[in-house]
Structure 1
Amino acid sequence: MQTELNKVIAAVRDFYAQETFLFEKDVGERAVTHRFAVHLEKHFPGWSTDCNYDRLGERTLHLPHGTIISTDDHLGKSIYPDVVVHQREIPNNLLAVEIRKASNHTPLEHDQHKLRALTDVHVWFPFWIGLLLVLDRHSVTMSEVYVSAALDEAQSRWFASRLRESGLAAS
């Protein structure tokens, strides 16, 4: 898992090195998410990297009825992760990333619940790793790692520490 998370750190480094314009002009989160995905894709050869990808093989990603996880469409059924690293045809789901700008003051719970659902082996073929990144103008202000439908405290601490060591998060 740390190998994959180190690739994410490299993508974060590339993103901040090349995308300062996005924060200078205060563009929306979807533009930030897309540009992050462009940098992430370079570090995962052999995998597909997509934004707002709502498929599981041929099927649409749906949450089971009665779930507490909120959804992103008007029908309340489909779920759209910000960025995924996966193999589309199999499906083989490696990484789901939820990205927020630090200026976004809506509660984090929606993204946290989504990552729990996306990594839950009981809901569908899960993503191996879920990652929440809160980005400000110069660094990652918050990060969380999700595995098996739960926040992984140890991996979250390790990831945050690596971000700080790399100069990508405040000390």
Structure 2
Amino acid sequence: MHSELNRLISALQEFYARERFILDRDLGERALTHRLSVHLERNFLGWDVDCDYNRLGDRAMLLPRGSIVSTDDELGKSIYPDIVVHKRAVPDNLLAIEVRKASNHQPLAHDRHKLMALTDPHLWFAYWIGVLVILDRRSVITPEVYVGARIDPPLSAWFAGRLQQLGLAAG
């Protein structure tokens, strides 16, 4: 998992180095996720990188009944991760990323529950790793890593520490 997270860190380095225009102008979250996905593509060669992708092969990613995660579709059952690193045709799901702007003051519960669902090994679309990144204009704030339907504190601490070492997270 460290290898995959290091590739995400490289993408974040490129993002903060090259995307000053959108960061300084406080553009919307979708603009940020798109530009971050462009940098992810360079770091995950051989993988597909998509935004708001709600499929597993030809099937829609649906949450189990009674899930507390709200969604954007008319039936309220599909799930749209902000960014995914996966193989579309196989399917093989590696990394799901939820991106938040630091200026977004909505509760984090929705994003956290989504990552728990996305990494749940008992669901047919499980991603190996989930990551929540809160993007400030200059750094990542309090990143969280999810594995097996829950936050992984040691891996989250390692990830935050690496970002801090590289000047990508506040100390």
State the TM bucket, normalised to the shorter chain. over 0.9
CA distance in 1, matches of 2:121, 2:157: 23
Query: Which ranges in structure 2 are unaligned for 5 or more consecutive residues?
Result: none
Structure 1 contact 135–142 (Cα < 8 Å) conserved: no
Query: Take 1:108 and 1:79, find their aligned partners in 2: how far apart are those partners?
Result: 16
Equivalent in the alignment of 2:3: 3
Number of aligned residues: 171
Deviation at 1:61, TM superposition (A): 0.7
CA–CA distance in structure 2, aligned partners of residues 150 and 70 of structure 1: 18
Determine the structure 1 residue equivalent to 2:73.
Answer: 73
Which amino acid counterpart does residue 86 of structure 1 have in structure 2? H
Give structure 1 regions of 4+ aligned residues with deviation exceeding 3 angstroms: none
- Equivalent residue letter for 1:58: D
Q: 2:61, 2:125 within 8 Å by CA — same for their partners in 1?
A: no
3-state SS in 1 of match to 2:66 = coil
Structure 1 residue runs without a partner (length 5+):
none
Rounded Cα–Cα distance in structure 2 between residues aligned with 1:73 and 1:151:
26
- The CA distance in 2 between the partners of 1:121 and 1:25, in whole Å, is 39
Partner of 2:150: 150
Q: Which residue of 1 aligns with 2:168?
A: 168
**Partners of 2:102 and 2:134 within 8 A in 1:** yes
Q: Offset at 1:141?
A: 1.1
- Matching residue's letter, 1:54: N
Where 1:122 maps in the other structure, the secondary structure is: coil
Cα offset, 1:69, TM superposition: 2.2
The match for 1:118 is 118
On the 8 A contact 1:11/1:43 being kept in 2, the answer is yes
- Greater displacement, 126-135 / 59-68: 59-68
Kindly provide the CA deviation profile for residues 55-105 of structure 1, in whole angstroms up to 9, marking residues without a partner as x: 011101111111122223232111100000000011100000000000000
Aligned Cα root-mean-square deviation (Å): 0.8
Give me the whole-angstrom Cα distance separating, in 2, the residues matched to 1:68 and 1:106: 16
Partner residue in 1 for 2:25: 25
Instruction: Output the TM-score relative to the length of structure 2.
Output: 0.98
In the alignment, what sits opposite 2:87? 87
CA distance in 2, matches of 1:125, 1:61: 7
Given that residues 62 and 78 in structure 1 are in contact (C-alpha distance below 8 angstroms), is that contact kept between their aligned partners in structure 2?
A: yes
Deviates more, 1:6-15 or 1:58-67: 58-67
Distance 1:58 1:75 in 2: 18
1:42 partner SS? helix
Q: Secondary structure at the match of 2:130?
A: strand
Alpha-carbon contact 2:48-2:88 (below 8 Å) kept: yes
Residue identity over aligned pairs, in percent, reads 61
